[in-house]
Structures are given as structure tokens and as C-alpha cells.
Chain A
Amino acid sequence: MSHAVDILPALLNPGDPAAGDESLYSVGNAENYALYGSGVLSPADYPAAELAFHVDVQRWLAGDLPFLGLLSHRDRLGLDVRPHHDTRPLLPSEIALPDEVLADAVENEVPEAGVLIERILGEHHPRPTSGALAALAWVETLGPNRRGVDAWADGERDRKLVSAMRRVDRAPPCLYHDGVPLLPLSPSMRPPGGPPGVYVARAYRLGSGWAFSSRVDLAALPAIPPLLRRLRVEGWRLRTRERRATWEDVLRQRSAVLYRAAVEGAARAQLKAALPGPMPGA
């Protein structure tokens, strides 16, 4: 049986072995480059430059290339020095969207969800929670531009729930500590507070308040710098297709990268805390 989506992508890259199809090379958008790019590449040279960027991203993920080695690609391909925010406000949802609804949707709509959950939780994960399954609902597991929530929404008769899903869809996932976002986030998308703990979730407006969807609790606080670098590079990869993509577009469309990197970073932090003594260079 062949799969439109690679469900066992563990050989894609040793630096991110649980990555999904988002880590594969896909031809970017030369027209978008012509409109918004740096203009230094001819149409004939563009595909090779983009492929070289993809190859070096894989080398960086594998630890074979320093981060600064990617900057020349970024400049040549016009992937922008800094991302910018999505300044559109979040519209409130009338009703809550429980994680259990999304988890059920994933179990009903996404074949091999038990395998694909590693895109959210990494390779060595415990039994997935409803929050982790809910997070998987937003990932393109059913093919290009096709997610579990889309398949669920097509057949769901409770249209208020579907409407709530549309509102949560706009809310970018982020890493939170006691409700405080630890990653850059558009001011209009920052909740005033939240439950205690360290978690990745989508904060969305619910009536006059806020709620958190697709919440994955973390055992420890992951180091922020490697997480930000990972997301920044993912943003550059996304921008090979659309150079106007915002930071929040990256968080939404590469949500699996955020969840996975945060879970893996938390595991490293937990391990580090368990080992006594200074660890220079750790």
C-alpha cells in the first residue's frame, strides 16, 4: 500500500527524525521570488539555489553546518532578515472547542494516527494525551493542504463546533509558561494569562475571555534559543513559497515543528537537570 503522505519519515533527516512531509524538498515559488525576492537570481538559477538551501538546512539540522551558514541562502533567496507579525485580531468563538473533540476527529479521520503522533511528540513519546492528538488535527496528515480538522469539518453536523474550529485555526500555537507566551507573538494574540505550567497550546478568544486548545504539557522548560532558531529557519523554508508569510503563519503552518521541538527540548532540559554538576557547552 502506498501513502500519499509518508507515514514513516524517520530516514528523512537524522537531525529531526520524527519530521513529516514538511521537511521534504518541495519546489518553491519562483513567481513569488520574482515579485518579493532579492532579484539577484535569474529564473534559470533560482531552482538550484533553492535546492542548495534545502540541502544546507538538512545539514544544519544534522549538526553539520553552523546556523550562520544559512544566512547567505536567506539573502540570496530573499527570505528576509526578520519576520513580521500577523496583526489581524483574533475573533472570539461562541463556544469552546474541547481537545477531546479534536482528538476524536483525529482518531476517526487520520489513518495511522498512532504513528503520526510522533510529529507532535517526537520519536520516544508516552501514550498521547487528547491535547497531543488535538495538536495533530492541525497538521497536514491527509495530503497537501488537508488536515484532520478539515476532514472532520466536512462531515460534522454541529456547525457551531465547526465555527469554533475556524476561530481556533487562526490562533497560532505558542510555548507558554504560566500563561505567558515565551515566543514572539502578535500583541493581539497574546492572552492576558493562563493556567499554570509549561505547555504548547493555541490561545484563542472564547466569548469575553480566553481558552487554550491543543495543549501539550511539558515536563520542563525547553531552552528558547534553539527553539527560536529552528522556527526561524522553518519560516525561511515556508517563505520559499510565500515571502509575505508572517511569524504567526510559521507557527500555524509548521505547528508540528514547534510542538516536536518543544517536547524534545523539554526532554533535554529534564535530562540535564537530572545530571549533577556543571555541563560546559551543554
Chain B
Amino acid sequence: MTFFLLFACAEEPQSVCPSWSGLGLESRTWTYAPLSEGDPWDDVATLLAFDHFELTRPGYDAELRCEADGLFLLNEHRVTDTLEAWWDYEPPALWMPALLESGTAWSLDAGYDYHDDAGVVVTRRADTQFAVVGEADQDVTAGGFSTLAIQVFDGAASDTRYYADGVGLVLDGTVQLVDVD
């Protein structure tokens, strides 16, 4: 029975999460507020195991996993007053590459299984294009940040999101960062 209690030993790895994602800590809370009218809310990311995270906000949660080549989206779950729906990405969808710099472009080109409590079950593909289009200093309620501007185009509309190194999303077309811990 001694073999049963043998333990392998290895170096403790550091987080491989992209630094621009702001992930990598045991738990982190970002408070966002809409640029127009509305109440702020918290995005809370908690480590589940290794670099596997759960992201929650009111009416929404998602699972994300950091790997050597980037941050991947595993699934999403939304709840509204009238509908509850799930998206399962298989294989996981690239949400953010490991290294970001001006000119970096990638595609969230992934199949997903969707189902909801209204009985809809479909398999579709998500095709969202991302491109780092420059750098910009942004002043938001949470403070001033040096950011990368990432243009996002989902086939129907485009938006520009601003990410700060070690912080994550600071500003996009509808929300701004109010606080981060």
C-alpha cells in the first residue's frame, strides 16, 4: 500500500492568465457603472482551481480558463425575468490571447450549444472579431489608466473596449470602471 500514498512533487506554477484580463488572483471584484443612467454593479471573479475562474454579476455567470495561449470562455449563463439560458462553448472560445500589443487580432470563432428554459436548443457559431487598434490614456471614476484599445466587431455592431494591464476592462461604449480591488 505504500505506493498509494506516494506523492509527486513539482514546482508551484504561477498564473498563466493574460495580465490585461485582470484575472489571476484568488478573488477580484470590479465595480462598473453605465455611462448613461443606471445603478452600478459588481463583476466578481473567483478562482475555482488552477486557472479556472467563475465570473458572476447580477443575472449572469460564466466560466473562464486561462491557458498558456490565452483566456478561454467555457460557458455562459443568463437569467432574466422571463428567461434562463445557457451557452456552452466546445471547444472553449478564445476570449483574449496571452500576449496583447498593437496590431494583435484574433477571432472568437467558436461553436456553442445554446439552450433555454423555453425549450430552444440550438448549436451555432459565434464569430466575433477583436483587434488591438492602439493605446490610450483613459480617466474613469476608478482613476487614470494607460490602456490598450481593442475594437470588437460581432458582425452586427462594433465597439471599442479599453483594457488596463493588471486591471482588466476599464471602459467601453456603455460602461466604465468605478472601483477594483
B residues contacting A by CB (< 8 A) are 1, 3-5, 7-13, 15, 26-27, 46-50, 52, 54, 59, 63, 74, 79-84, 90, 117
Contact = CB atoms under 8 A, between A and B. Distances in A.
A278 B117 CA distance: 7
Interface stretch (A125-133, A209-217, A245-253): A245-253
B117 A276 contact: yes
27 contacts: A68-B26, A80-B12, A82-B12, A82-B13, A84-B10, A84-B12, A86-B8, A86-B10, A88-B8, A166-B3, A169-B4, A183-B49, A184-B50, A225-B48, A225-B54, A228-B48, A232-B49, A242-B7, A244-B7, A244-B9, A246-B9, A248-B8, A253-B4, A278-B79, A278-B83, A278-B117, A280-B79
B54 to A, nearest CB: 5
A228 B7 contact: no
A225 B63 contact: yes
B49 A247 contact: yes
Given A225-B54, A279-B79, A246 B8 contact: yes
Nearest to A242: B7
A192 interface: no
B1 A146 contact: yes
A180 B83 CA distance: 29
A223 B131 CA distance: 33
Nearest to B115: A273
B3, B8, B9, B63 — most chain A CB neighbours (10 Å)? B8
Contacts of A224: 48, 63, 74
A229 B9 contact: no
A81 B51 CA distance: 11
Interface in A68-93: 68, 71, 80-88
Interface in A174-226: 180, 183-184, 224-225
B126 to A, nearest CB: 19
A87 B117 CA distance: 42
A169 B6 CA distance: 12
Interface in A126-162: 145-147, 150
Interface in A224-248: 224-225, 228-229, 231-232, 242, 244-248
Contacts of B10: 84-87, 246
A83 B50 CA distance: 6
Contacts of A86: 8, 10
Contacts of B80: 278
Contacts of B49: 82-83, 183-184, 228-229, 231-232, 247
A228 B11 CA distance: 21
Contact of B8 (A71, A249, A279): A249
Nearest to B48: A228
Contacts of A248: 8
Contacts of A71: 26
A281 B81 CA distance: 12
A-B interface, 4 closest residue pairs, ranked by CB to CB distance from nearest: A228-B48, A278-B84, A244-B9, A86-B8
